[in-house]
Amino acid sequence: MKVKEALKSISLGSTQSVFLLKGDDHFLQEFFIKKVLKIFFKDSSYTKTLMLPDDMSGKEIIEKLTITDLFEVQKLFIIRDPQRIIGRSSADLFEICKNPNPGHLIFLIIDNWFAKTTFTSKIESFIEPIDTQSPFEKDMVRWATYLINEKNKTADLKAVSYLIDMAGESIVHLNNEINKICLLIEPRKYIEIEDLEQFSGWRRERGLWEFLLAYSNKNFEKSVEIGKSLIQGSNQLASLIIPLTNLYQEMLFIKMKKNGTFDSYGGYIALPASIKKRIGYLAANFSKKEIIDALKLLHGIDKRKKSQNTDDEIELIQFIGKTIGK
């Protein structure tokens, strides 16, 4: 079950008080817990207990869950990696989850969505897991719209798409940027693309994104046009050479992975989020030899810039021509 589906169910009157969160997006985990707390406990006080099976025994965890207080107190329990609880304590935990104490909220968190153990099979037989994996790109539009609406704001699809291009590599980054923009436009309710373009860093990153996308799609004319405007604005060829080097290094990692050099690809070098998400597709436009040759050319430009007074625009056009020109 998705986070928003689960929250809707709770808001409509679900009395479920034990939740299994699976997925390693800690922002979504915290987001869901905060929302459920507000629905269940509202503004009343509660105690919070975080328990890690690596730091305490299963018996200690069960004692925390079952201890009786002299005064009735609402309690929040968060148990990370509950599948590590073994033996009698594991059986006791199942019973507690089936019949939780009134006033208790229990969150079981397993970062690995694909975890299949005896524990997960048993717990999922009576508690449907809530998906707290980082959203896929196709889900980011819905999440951006949801987070904007949460702030009592609205935005058109063009503005939302711009937001995702600039800050959509993670939901926590997206949420942080939405918070900034909502503060910027107060007291207005509608976010326009012009509001986003007020962020000078975003304008710069947007231009870089357009350049790298045009370049890696081997669009010579557009690459030259955007590249010239970017180096004229910053007066530094390095403002493009560094991200170009990063782009080629990322694409080389992809090629090496296909040859079995890397077991996984997580993206090791800073690039605009929207470029990073497309890196596999973009790498298909270049052979391994083309990538290595381009990196050698970039290294040569860097050496010349440090020892000679070269013309940035000529260097850029020559590089683009040698690497993607017809």
- Whether 122 and 143 map to the same domain: the answer is no
Element (H, E) at 19: strand 18-22
Question: What are the φ and ψ backbone dihedral angles of 80, each rounded to 5 degrees?
Answer: -90, 140
Let me know if residue 286 belongs to a domain.
Answer: yes
Which pLDDT does position 204 carry in this prediction? 61
d(CA 166, CA 181): 13
Domain boundary among 131, 150, 175: 131
Three-class DSSP category at 48: strand
- Whether 190 and 300 map to the same domain: the answer is no
Let me know if residue 205 belongs to a domain.
Answer: no
- Whether 7 and 126 map to the same domain: the answer is yes
Domain boundary among 131, 157, 174: 131
Mean pLDDT of 123-145: 88
Confidence class for position 69, pLDDT limits 50, 70, 90: confident
- Whether 95 and 161 map to the same domain: the answer is no
Three-class DSSP category at 179: helix
Mean pLDDT of 122-139: 88
Q: What is the DSSP letter of 14?
A: -
Let me know if residue 11 belongs to a domain.
Answer: yes
Query: Residue 304 maps to which CATH number?
Result: 1.20.272
Three-class DSSP category at 43: coil
Query: Residue 67 maps to which CATH number?
Result: 3.40.50.300
Which pLDDT does position 296 carry in this prediction? 92
pLDDT of residue 157 exceeding 90, the answer is no
pLDDT of residue 134 exceeding 50, the answer is yes
- Whether 77 and 183 map to the same domain: the answer is no
pLDDT of residue 201 exceeding 60, the answer is no
What confidence tens digit (pLDDT) does each residue in 217-231 have? 888 988 888 888 888
What does the block give as tokens for 322? 């040698």
Mean pLDDT of 296-306: 86
- Whether 11 and 125 map to the same domain: the answer is yes
Which pLDDT does position 63 carry in this prediction? 92
C-beta neighbour count of 239 within 10 angstroms: 17
- Whether 149 and 223 map to the same domain: the answer is no
- Whether 13 and 112 map to the same domain: the answer is yes
Which pLDDT does position 229 carry in this prediction? 80
Please tell me the number of Cα atoms within 13 Å of 74 on its side-chain side.
11
pLDDT of residue 265 exceeding 60, the answer is no
Q: Confirm whether pTM is higher than 0.85.
A: no
Which pLDDT does position 195 carry in this prediction? 80
pLDDT of residue 232 exceeding 70, the answer is yes
Let me know if residue 178 belongs to a domain.
Answer: yes
- Whether 148 and 121 map to the same domain: the answer is no
What does the block give as tokens for 134? 């980082």
> CB neighbours of 95 closer than 8 A, spacing ≥ 6?
none
What confidence tens digit (pLDDT) does each residue in 85-100 have? 989 999 999 999 999 8
Domain boundary among 87, 104, 131: 131
3-state SS, 60-94, equals: HHHHHHHCCCCCCCCEEEEEECHHHCCCHHHHHHH
- Whether 119 and 17 map to the same domain: the answer is yes
What does the block give as tokens for 122? 């048993």
Let me know if residue 203 belongs to a domain.
Answer: no
Which pLDDT does position 269 carry in this prediction? 52
Which pLDDT does position 263 carry in this prediction? 40
- Whether 181 and 231 map to the same domain: the answer is no
Residue 77 structural domain:
3-131
Let me know if residue 208 belongs to a domain.
Answer: no
Picking from 32, 40, 37, 34, the residue whose alpha carbon sits closest to that of residue 6 is 32
Let me know if residue 62 belongs to a domain.
Answer: yes
- Whether 153 and 98 map to the same domain: the answer is no
Q: Provide the pairing of β-strand 75-80 with 154-155.
A: unpaired
Picking from 271, 4, 309, the residue whose alpha carbon sits closest to that of residue 132 is 4
Total structural domains within the chain: 3
Let me know if residue 209 belongs to a domain.
Answer: no
